[in-house]
A and B are shown apart, each in its own frame.
Chain A
Amino acid sequence: MAYLERYTVQIVPDLNAQLARFLAGEADVFSAANADQVAQVLERIRANRLRAEIFPNIDVTLATNFIVFNWNHKDPFKENLFRQVKFRRAMAHLMDKKSMIEVALGGLGQPQWSPISIPNKAFFTDDVAKFEFNPQRALQLLAELGFRSKNRDGWLVNAEGKVLEFNLVTNQGNNVRERIAQIFRDEARKVGVKVEYRPIDFNELVRQLTSPAADGTREFDAILIGLTGGIEPAFARNVWQLNGSLHAWNLGVGGKNPAKVEAFEVLIDTLMTRGATTLDQAQRRQIYVQFQKVVAENLPLIYTVAPAYNPARLTRLGGMFPKEQINSIVGQAPYIETVFAKE
């Protein structure tokens, strides 16, 4: 048994190359990026070709994925529709998060209901409104908005014969997001909501999201995108404050507040400012718990699923966290000083 004289940090940008290094025993710690990698590590361990342990789905990562609707649409019909909380709740009811985890994340991940990342234990709360997968309930809510009958093609229409339709885009090349978007589209189309899904270039997506025209309107209908989470909710103020540059659903022009603002948006803005200017930890938690409740209730961003954190390590390592202490923020060991090699 020996404490480490030195350790090497290998920077391997490619996910498959990272896996190959761990499988070859050339890296001591590793984090499997997806279910396929987890399976490969497990297979190696079971075949006795690698003396290692892996902790699949032990936690989720800080990343969040959500669908955002455009409240600044040039089409007044769509703008009005997207601003209805009933519409957004109906869309939440159409999200089959179980399938999303199964298909998009290979069974490894957790459903997300509110904006604070699940590993962020200091502020995260699970006690929020959850509009779970329920197409019947979605149909009821849409009926309350006037979409009571279906046209000849099977799409929901309102009394004026307007079809309930929108485009959903996400950035090309992100397999997880592309699959989540497809699952949402398929479920929505089953009940008669005409969702057209298309992956587009990332920079084009950012332009559509963040660059309103001079009159304040934006082009997109709905975007599935993710933001990196942090351990301090106030770091995401640009998303939640009214004049924020990432107030994605209802964006103001030139750093100003949006023209038309709902009451709950003001409340979120206030809570964010209070959270960012309070030092007392208990009060901070209270503020952010309320913040999560307001967001989950009103769904300005409709959260989908959080990908799993699947750390792995060679069994020759000691001085690491036991299973129950591993988390995606700190990792498998608090400090390298505690780590030793058994052989």
Chain B
Amino acid sequence: MFAYVVRRLLQLVPTFFGATLLAFLVIQLAPGDFVTRLELDPTQDRESIANLRQQLGLDQPLPVQYAKWLSGILQGYLGLSLSYKTDVWNVIGQRILNSMVLVVLATLMIYLIAIPIGVYSAIRKYTWPDRTFTVLAFLGLAIPNFFFGLIMLFLAVWLNDLTNMRILPIGGMTTEFIHLGNLTRAAGLLFPVALLGTLVYAGLFWWKSNHGQPVSFGVWVGLVMFGVSTLLMLFPLLQGPGLPERLPYTESPLWARITNVLWHAFPVVIVVGTSGLAGLMRVMRGQMLDVLSQDYIRTARAKGLNERVVIYKHALRNAVIPFIAGIGGLLPALIGGAGLVEVTMAWPGITPALLEAISAIDIYVIMGLITITTVLLMIGNVVSDLLLAWVDPRIRYS
């Protein structure tokens, strides 16, 4: 096993060089460079253009540029953003974090909803709920995310106009001003609901564990969701009354900023999550159906096991194996951003930054992103393979 891991890690080295070299060449194939657009600025004369090229090292031959970039990478330096004149990490770091908000929430949503629905659909194959989910899944897969994003914006505008309130955000990640007064009042209204939910689920949890019943997935989810919301609402309830009605975002307390970002993330996460949800739901259903037709399931049923135990203990555990293997693939997706939705819904994530960098030919920003994604993809693949061996005793590496 150890030898296998070492061999896999060693194989990453040539892959890394090959991938980055290819990326570097492809970027350079596009006409012009970062300075090209300045050539159409009437105030820039030939000397200043040439000086700039020289300063940025764009006048050097490609192998030299690549070698210089590579020596920086090996020391952990991603290079200089030509547009922002600063370390690439300063440019993309915050953007990656912004995207992560979406990706983490959407991934959570996908897994929490898709797996139960997939299982449900498989158990009740060809019933009308299964057919409804199937139709919805195909719709979700068919609508491109960026377009769904536009529809969501339209809905948000329509809803806000209808109610004359700001129920849904219209793009962006933060508001200029946070209405702390509104937040506090909303928390006051919702707090009893959240508290009640928490108590109900805590009661269920307690009852089930005391009566020897397995605590189901739904109870866990409900307890965590209501519990976290209750705790979060304590902040505005305790601090809110002492604060002004309205504060600029940057001067607001942390809980208000988090709420603000989550509020903005809500419609975006729904948009991003839907297509992934649709796909995963179908895969889960297929997996489950596969497993349910296996001999050992028949054996389990023949032994007279409770159908719940058959499904959750014997079938589900085997059906989720491919998902566990897919966890490694989430690593690059985490920083890869949510795609064009970020552009249509004005989320300051990594996709707009990448597009901006590509159109400005800000090579090192593009290279930085490609490098990080490549490394994470490679590590993710190794992790996936190892996880697979861990959960599936049929697979062994030597």
Contact = CB atoms under 8 A, between A and B. Distances in A.
Contact of B30 (A27, A203, A210, A230): A203
A207 B176 contact: no
Interface in B140-197: 161, 166, 170-172, 175-177
Interface string B62-96: 00000000000000000000000000000000000
A207 B32 contact: yes
B42 interface: yes
Contacts, number: 71
Interface string B9-50: 000000000000000000000111100110111111110010
Instruction: Name which of B37, B40, B49, B170 has the most chain A CB atoms within 10 A of its CB.
Output: B40
Interface string B234-260: 000000000000001000000000000
A27 B170 CA distance: 14
Given A8-B176, A203-B30, A204-B32, A238 B44 contact: yes
Contact of A207 (B31, B43, B166): B31
A235 B346 CA distance: 36
Interface string A215-248: 0000000000101101000011111000011100
A127 interface: no
A201 interface: yes
A246 B175 CA distance: 43
Contacts of A201: 30-31
B170 A245 contact: no
Main secondary structure of the interface of B (DSSP, over half): loop
A206 B43 contact: no
Given A17-B171, A20-B170, A26-B176, A206 B40 contact: yes
Contact of B32 (A10, A206, A238, A255): A206
B350 interface: no
Nearest to A209: B40
A: contact size bracket: 20 to 34
A14 interface: yes
Contacts of A227: 40-42
B40 A246 contact: yes
A202 interface: yes
Contact of B37 (A17, A203, A245, A246): A203
Interface string A185-216: 00000000000000001111011011000000
A39 interface: no
A236 B43 CA distance: 6
A24 interface: yes
Contacts of B361: 203
Interface in B330-350: 346
B45 A245 contact: yes
Contact of A235 (B31, B42, B176, B177): B42
Given A8-B176, A20-B170, A235 B43 contact: yes
A4 to B, nearest CB: 13
B36 A203 contact: yes
Nearest to A235: B43
Interface in A237-282: 237-239, 244-246, 255
A220 to B, nearest CB: 13
Given A203-B361, A228-B42, A245 B31 contact: no
- Across the A-B interface, give the 8 residue pairs with the lowest CB-CB distance, nearest first: A203-B32, A236-B42, A204-B31, A203-B31, A245-B46, A17-B346, A203-B36, A235-B43
8 contacts: A24-B166, A26-B175, A49-B161, A203-B361, A206-B39, A210-B39, A210-B40, A245-B45
Interface of A: 8, 10, 14, 17, 20-21, 24, 26-27, 49, 201-204, 206-207, 209-210, 225, 227-228, 230, 235-239, 244-246, 255
Interface of B: 30-33, 36-37, 39-46, 49, 161, 166, 170-172, 175-177, 248, 346, 361
Given A10-B176, A228-B42, A236-B42, 14 more contacts: A21-B176, A26-B177, A202-B32, A202-B36, A203-B31, A206-B32, A206-B36, A207-B32, A210-B40, A227-B40, A227-B42, A237-B42, A245-B46, A245-B49
